[in-house]
């Protein structure tokens, strides 16, 4: 067993030596330009010393093992030889010689057998390493998108107190969950834990599979994220949408059309400047959204994705998420409460602890609850609209319907409620509003935005409009 452990140590310490040597040869010109020869040499010496010590310990262990086998063999032969003298029996000399010769043969067979056994055990280390690569989830994982947090704790530094403490909740497949809380409550840390960017305590399961047992590249490739600060590479648009060139051009164009960027670019070879400087802030966010549409993963994380975009782009992003990711599990870190009030559930965080987790309409019934207090802090008019959106989402969940979505206009007007007031109800063409409202979901938002873009809404317009169009 000790010899097997030493073999593992030698194998694990050998790989860094060869990988460092290969990387140094490939980047030799860069090393010389940066004048980092001494640093690289010290790093190589460190890897070499570690491997040499492991190799020396393996040789010493093998030698000690052989020495003790020889000692056992000599002791056995001596016991057989002396037994004839101690017993003082009239044993024929030929029998004594036969016993000693057979004991010597037996000792040789014993040493050979033990050495072969040890060698087989050591070689099985390679088999164990191969078997580790076979323990991968099926190609279609995750098929449902169910997420479970079980007694999960997160620390960014071992000496610091935990940022997330004893999280226990589950997200059912295809649910839309909003995550809210004050600054420093641990909202973004939940996304970090989901991607395993730091070491965790506890368990996170996706479709009943522990993510700690998966490779990081495999896990992260199955989760899409749209961050608050969009990440764009200094390359072509095709490379930004599909960095590994896994999808045909038709899929890329379809995604661009879904986010209304097809007319904004000349082609997939359109060059994107560093940081996407030749795109507006909203367009950069739409490129990230198109990237998520192309990946088509069952889990989507939005880390305050609409915090820095205009209301029209916000409405487009929300509409696309509700249509293109209808069968996906979506986690939304909210910057504006109106973006998550129609979610299936809302997770309220405070100081790294989950304090509330339920449907927003249910949470708003508790006037002492955290979500209720956060909604009231937005102002009386906005709070009324948020309550109404949550209530309508609850009714829609109990009585699902297709085609007409009665939450479209109230939700959109809540998002535009921060604009300056001044327009009158009489300026609206009621017939067009009714036609827009009773159209399908995507059609209604597009027409409503194009028709009302130049109008300025007052805070009470949402209530008046909702009352007018309700049958």
- Residue 237's CATH number: 3.40.50.300
- Tell me the CA distances in angstroms from 406 to 290, 323, 363, 435, one per residue in order: 27, 15, 22, 13
The pLDDT tens digits of the residues spanning 10-59 come to 777 888 888 899 889 988 888 999 888 999 999 999 999 998 998 888 88
**CA-to-CA distance for 346 and 177, rounded, in angstroms?**
5
Share the mean pLDDT of the chain: 78
Tell me the mean pLDDT in the region 389-408: 62
Same domain for 204 and 276, yes or no, is yes
The two three-digit tokens of residue 111, written as one number: 């040493």
Cβ-Cβ contacts under 8 Å for 151 (sequence gap 6 or more): 166, 167, 168, 201, 202, 203
Kind of pairing, strands 345-350 and 176-181? parallel
The pLDDT tens digits of the residues spanning 56-74 come to 888 888 788 878 888 888 8
Residue 409 scores a pLDDT above 70:
no
More confident residue, 118 or 7: 118
The two three-digit tokens of residue 162, written as one number: 């935990």
**CA-to-CA distance for 100 and 78, rounded, in angstroms?**
9
CB count in 10 Å sphere of residue 161? 9
More confident residue, 111 or 361: 361
**CA-to-CA distance for 145 and 173, rounded, in angstroms?**
5
Q: Of 132, 162, 194, which residue constitutes the final position of a domain?
A: 132
Same domain for 182 and 123, yes or no, is no
Same domain for 61 and 159, yes or no, is no
Range of the domain at 309: 152-358
pLDDT at 4: 61
Same domain for 126 and 169, yes or no, is no
Same domain for 111 and 255, yes or no, is no
- Could you give the number of structural domains in the chain? 3
**For residue 265, is it within any domain?**
yes
Same domain for 169 and 302, yes or no, is yes
**For residue 225, is it within any domain?**
yes
Same domain for 350 and 413, yes or no, is no
Least confident among 45-59, 121-135, 253-267: 121-135
Q: What is the DSSP letter of 236?
A: B
Same domain for 168 and 274, yes or no, is yes
Ramachandran angles phi, psi of 324, nearest 5°: -80, -25
Least confident among 341-350, 371-380, 389-398: 389-398
Tell me the mean pLDDT in the region 157-166: 87
**For residue 128, is it within any domain?**
yes
Tell me the mean pLDDT in the region 200-205: 91
């Amino acid at each position: 067993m000790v010899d097997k452990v030493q073999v593992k140590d030698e194998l694990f310490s050998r790989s860094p030596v060869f990988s460092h040597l290969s990387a140094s040869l490939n980047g030799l010109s860069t090393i010389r330009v940066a004048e980092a020869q001494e640093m690289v040499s010290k790093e190589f010496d460190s890897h070499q010393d570690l491997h040499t010590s492991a190799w020396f310990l393996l040789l010493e262990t093998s030698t000690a093992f052989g020495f003790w086998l020889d000692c056992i063999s000599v002791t056995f032969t001596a016991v057989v030889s002396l037994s004839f003298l101690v017993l003082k029996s009239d044993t024929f000399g030929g029998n004594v010689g036969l016993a000693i010769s057979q004991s010597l043969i037996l000792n040789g067979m014993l040493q050979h057998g033990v050495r072969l056994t040890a060698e087989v055990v050591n070689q099985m280390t390679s088999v164990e390493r191969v078997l580790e690569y076979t323990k991968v989830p099926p190609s279609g994982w995750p098929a449902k998108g169910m997420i479970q947090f079980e007694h999960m704790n997160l620390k960014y530094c071992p000496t610091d107190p935990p940022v997330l403490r004893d999280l226990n909740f589950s997200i059912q497949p295809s649910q839309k969950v909003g995550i809210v809380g004050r600054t420093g409550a641990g909202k973004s840390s939940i996304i970090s834990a989901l991607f395993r960017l730091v070491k965790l305590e506890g368990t996170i399961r996706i479709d009943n599979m522990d993510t700690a047992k998966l490779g990081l590249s495999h896990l992260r490739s199955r989760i899409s994220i749209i961050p608050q600060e969009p990440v764009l590479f200094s390359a072509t648009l095709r490379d930004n949408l599909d960095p590994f060139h896994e999808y045909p051009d038709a899929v890329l164009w379809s995604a661009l059309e879904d986010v209304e960027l097809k007319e904004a670019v000349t082609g997939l070879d359109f060059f994107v400047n560093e940081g996407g400087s030749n795109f507006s802030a909203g367009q950069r966010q739409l490129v990230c959204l198109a990237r998520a549409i192309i990946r088509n993963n069952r889990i989507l994380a939005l880390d305050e994705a609409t915090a820095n975009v205009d209301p029209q782009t916000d409405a487009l992003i929300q509409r696309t998420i509700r249509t293109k990711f209808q069968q996906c599990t979506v986690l939304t870190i909210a910057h504006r409460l109106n973006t998550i009030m129609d979610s299936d559930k809302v997770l309220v965080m405070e100081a790294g602890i989950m304090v509330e987790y339920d449907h927003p309409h249910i949470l708003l019934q508790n006037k002492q609850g955290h979500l209720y207090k956060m909604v009231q802090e937005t102002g009386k008019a906005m709070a009324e609209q948020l309550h109404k959106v949550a209530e309508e989402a609850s009714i829609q969940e109990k009585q699902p319907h297709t085609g007409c979505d009665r939450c479209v206009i109230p939700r959109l007007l809540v998002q535009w409620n921060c604009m300056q007031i001044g327009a009158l109800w009489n300026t609206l063409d009621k017939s067009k509003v009714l036609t827009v409202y009773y159209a399908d979901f995507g059609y209604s938002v597009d027409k409503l935005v194009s028709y009302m873009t130049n109008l300025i809404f007052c805070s009470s317009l949402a209530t008046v409009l909702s009352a007018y169009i309700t049958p």
